């Protein structure tokens, strides 16, 4: 299970000019926002990247407005976040076993970042409702490939409750409220 003590929540390229082209963009943004709020409440480290921000703009405001003061998205040109020396250097000194990836596009930057983390023997968790691509086939194929490579598919709600572990956790009321903010339709 995912524990808050050794987890890194990494937000990949959730940028203003890119998101309008992404399928289910509103849901991805809402779920990522909920994960950031839960991470803030439970002490989970959050990091973010922006792919070529000069062209694709900054991270969407709905997400940056809930960042803690220490979160500043790092610009990158490499598709894998670990191909960005500043990002790689920043996290190399930190000991996270569980890497939770949110963002876009699933079949490009998320895929390459996840594969690089798996190569470093990290456990990669992918909340599928906080990931996206422009085309469904790219998104679904990338998820299948990543699962076969050893990544763990999960959801936003599952992650929040795993981080919380118990209703006795002081953060439980906040986590419960975040879960109730879910935007997709129930079965």
How far apart are the C-alpha atoms of 59 and 44, rounded to whole Å?
A: 20
Query: Which residues are tagged catalytic?
Result: 13, 76, 109
pLDDT of residue 187: 42
pLDDT tens digit string along 162-187? Answer: 999 988 988 888 888 888 876 665 54
pLDDT tens digit string along 50-69? Answer: 999 999 999 999 999 999 99
Q: Where are the alpha helices (DSSP H) in the chain?
A: 25-42, 53-56, 61-64, 85-92, 111-119, 136-149, 156-164, 172-180
Residue whose C-alpha is closest to residue 181's, from 83, 68, 37, 50: 37
- Tokens 């699933």 locate to 106
For 106, the token pair is 């699933």
Q: What is the 3-state secondary structure (H, E, C) of 4-48?
A: HHHEEEEEECCECCCHHHCCCHHHHHHHHHHHHHHHHHHCCEEEE
Residue whose C-alpha is closest to residue 48's, from 142, 1, 113, 2: 113
| % pLDDT > 90, the chain | 76
- The whole-model pTM stands at 0.94
pLDDT of residue 76: 94
Q: How confident is the model at residue 102 (pLDDT cuts 50, 70, 90)?
A: very high
Q: Is 186 helix (H, G, I), strand (E, B) or coil?
A: coil
DSSP class of 81: G
pLDDT tens digit string along 119-138? Answer: 999 999 999 999 999 999 99
How far apart are the C-alpha atoms of 112 and 146, rounded to whole Å?
A: 10
pLDDT tens digit string along 57-101? Answer: 999 999 999 999 999 999 999 999 999 988 888 777 677 899 999
pLDDT of residue 88: 84
């Amino acid at each position: 299970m995912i524990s808050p003590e050794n987890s890194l929540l990494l937000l990949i390229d959730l940028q203003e000019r890119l998101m309008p082209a992404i399928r289910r963009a509103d849901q991805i943004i809402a779920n990522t926002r909920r994960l950031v709020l839960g991470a803030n409440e439970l002490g989970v480290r959050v990091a973010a990247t922006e792919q070529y921000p000069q062209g694709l703009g900054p991270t969407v405001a709905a997400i940056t407005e809930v960042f803690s003061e220490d979160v500043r998205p790092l610009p990158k040109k490499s598709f894998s976040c670990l191909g960005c020396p500043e990002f790689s250097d920043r996290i190399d000194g930190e000991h996270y076993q569980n890497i939770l990836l949110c963002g876009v596009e699933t079949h490009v930057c998320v895929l390459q970042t996840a594969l690089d983390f798996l190569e470093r023997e990290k456990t990669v968790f992918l909340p599928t409702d906080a990931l996206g691509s422009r085309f469904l086939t790219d998104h679904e194929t990338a998820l299948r490939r990543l699962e076969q490579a050893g990544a763990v598919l999960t959801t936003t709600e599952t992650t929040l409750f795993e981080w919380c572990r118990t209703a006795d956790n002081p953060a439980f009321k906040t986590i419960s409220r975040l879960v109730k903010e879910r935007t997709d339709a129930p079965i």
